[in-house]
Amino acid sequence: MLDLLILLLLTLAVAIGYWLGRRSKLATKSGTVSGVQAHYIRGLNYLLNEQQDAAIDTFMEALEVNAETLETHLALGNLLRKRGEVSRAIKIHQNLLARPGLSYEQAQQVQLELARDYVKSGLLDRAETLLQELVPEVQPALRTECLEYLIEIYRDEKEWLKGVETINKLAGRRFTRLPDEWRIIQGHFYCEAAAEAIACDDYLVARRHLRSAVDVDKSSARSSLLLAELEQRLNHHEEAIKALKQVPQQQPQYISEAITLLGKSYSVLTKDQDFQNYLQVLQRDHADWSIRLAIAHFIERDEGVEAAALYIGEAIQESPSLRAVGQMLALQLSSMGSATGSASESIQMADQVIRHLQSRAPQYRCKRCGFSGQRMHWLCPGCKTWASIKNIQ
């Protein structure tokens, strides 16, 4: 990044030199040109002495803002923002707006860069205000970019319904269909609003938001999981099961999130055999360890711990899993009871090692950026991608 800054400063110096050459031919007052030349020479000295900050300030004073030099100013501001020097980027863009000579479209472009500075620095209110002013006025290409930044702001501020409205504006025309990526994001915004309503026991509002989530994204497993949680709170366990059975068809990677909820509702209804039958059906189509471990629980209940350990051991040969190994060792220890001996001690030691590894190993990982952790996030904290995290154990 430092090399890029030096390269940009050199480009800036060349641009000023070129501009000075043209200016000298047209100038009628030598004092004006010599004043700019003085800034130029001073800036070169700073650059040669590796005083990049002073060189930036001096070159910016020397370089007139016009259609030919605007891109250079914007490139420098963008580079400073990427380096984390947001306050300096803000200063550059504010100075640009204060100078005469910008066309209406160029001023809008600078305002957008200033809004990006505000987002980067966490001044979301200022960025939101600036972008809202720009949206009705800018050209279509910049309008889309403004709307996308507004959506990010509403995501970070948890203003989910404002985000939904802004996504609708991306379509442009009333009957234009949104791209799939935006429909998925819109569905998650509705789900976030529904989750907040469920937490406040506002089930009517939550149900309305979940219906909207399904309307925009029928493949949303999250909406089914939230609907199941809502139905369980209302003691509607048949409806909860119905919702959860949609998950394997919607997004199979979230079957593990549905299994525990399914077990709860089937248990309340005293329909364990129905649950077991459903697990067997699921296992034929989906290689998910959550299904296998739930089946192992029923085998342990009906046939004993040794049969359950044997079932898990055979499955591990097909698909290794640290979580499954830990469950198998726990079952083997349970079958031994209070037995002593070298075999028992070895299994106990292995069990301790596996438990230690499990406590440190991540349970979830983002397929996009590799972020990992012990709990499920619908929005990856690393890359800010929706529904990119899945269970890996």
The H or E element containing residue 315 is: helix 305-318
Q: What is the pLDDT of residue 254?
A: 95
The H or E element containing residue 116 is: helix 104-121
In the chain, what are the domain boundaries? Answer: 2-168, 228-271, 287-361, 362-393
3-state SS class at 338: coil
Which numeric CATH code is attached to 2-168? 1.25.40.10
330-346 CB burial, b ≥16 within 10 A, e <16: bbbbebeeeeeeeeeee
Supply the DSSP symbol for 391: E
CA torsion, ordered 221, 227, 232, 233, to nearest 10 deg: 130
The H or E element containing residue 105 is: helix 104-121
3-state SS class at 380: coil
Give the pair of three-digit tokens for residue 385: 């991608």
Q: Crossing angle for the helix pair 104-121 and 140-157, nearest 10 degrees?
A: 20
What pTM, to 2 d.p., does this model score?
0.80
How far does CA 1 lie from the centroid of its chain?
Answer: 25
- The count of other CB atoms within 10 Å of the CB of residue 245 is 15
Q: What is the pLDDT of residue 77?
A: 80
Q: What is the pLDDT of residue 102?
A: 81
**60 near 73, Cβ under 8 Å?**
yes
pLDDT in tens, the chain (393 residues): 545 555 555 555 555 455 445 554 444 444 444 444 454 445 445 444 555 566 566 655 655 665 666 777 787 788 778 878 888 888 888 888 887 778 888 889 999 999 999 999 989 999 999 999 999 988 888 899 999 999 999 999 999 999 999 999 987 655 556 788 999 999 999 999 999 999 999 999 999 999 999 999 999 999 999 999 999 999 999 999 999 999 999 999 999 999 999 999 999 999 999 999 999 999 999 989 999 999 999 999 999 988 988 888 888 888 888 787 778 777 777 777 655 555 567 777 777 777 777 777 888 999 999 999 989 999 999 999 999 999 886
Q: What is the pLDDT of residue 74?
A: 80
Distance from C-alpha of 376 to C-alpha of 86, rounded to nearest angstrom: 32
β-pairing, 372-373 vs 364-366, is antiparallel
**163 near 152, Cβ under 8 Å?**
no
Alpha helices in 135-202 (DSSP H): 140-157, 160-170, 180-199
Q: What is the pLDDT of residue 264?
A: 97
Q: What is the pLDDT of residue 176?
A: 59
